[in-house]
Amino acid sequence: MDEKRFNHIIKLIDIGDQSAFEELYNEYAKRITVLAYSILKDSGFAQDVLQSVMIKIWQKSSAIKRVKNPDAYIYTLTKNIAIDYYRINSKRYKNEISLEEINIASPIDEQSKLIFFSLIEVLDDDEKEIVIMKLVFNYTHFQISEEMKLPEGTVRWKYKVAIDKIRKYIDINKK
């Protein structure tokens, strides 16, 4: 979603426009859930984070000033809420892969989601974050480097290493 449309939708949400809220939800629900799942490893928790992100946007829409990069805004908000959720629930949290389906409307079938989640499990945390930003949020290497506060060359290298790990994992599991 471009900057102009996002900011317009936020203004509409601020006056209580539910159709604008629904448009925002439809645009970002899948990406929010994928990011939250990559952090929490549980689809139920990921759904909780999705709800928290959307509720926060609804409740705080009047405080949201002009957003220059909507994808980065949603990414950062989601990441922070997921990390907070992890901290709050860390005693009850199980760090296991949950293969439950993610109950959101999406053109990606459940099998593809499961494959994606199992593939990124071979990556370390930085690599997961970079792959998700690149493939799910369509960030450029430069945008990722700014978000993660890493040199762009490091981001490119980590992305290449991550893709190589995924390819190797696929090759090993083909046999």
**Do residues 139 and 131 make contact, with C-beta atoms less than 8 angstroms apart?**
no
**Do residues 56 and 81 make contact, with C-beta atoms less than 8 angstroms apart?**
yes
Residues 6+ apart with CB under 8 A from 57: 10, 13, 21, 24, 64, 77
User: Looking at residue 134, what is its pLDDT?
Assistant: 86
* Residue 121, SS3 per DSSP: coil
pTM for the model: 0.62
User: Looking at residue 18, what is its pLDDT?
Assistant: 92
Where do the structural domains in the chain lie, given as residue ranges? 1-95, 108-175
108-175: what CATH class? mainly alpha
Residues 6+ apart with CB under 8 A from 143: 69, 72, 133
Residues 6+ apart with CB under 8 A from 25: 54
Mean pLDDT per 10-residue interval, the chain, length 175 residues:
91 92 93 88 87 93 87 91 82 42 44 75 88 84 88 91 87 74
1-95: what CATH class? mainly alpha
User: Looking at residue 159, what is its pLDDT?
Assistant: 92
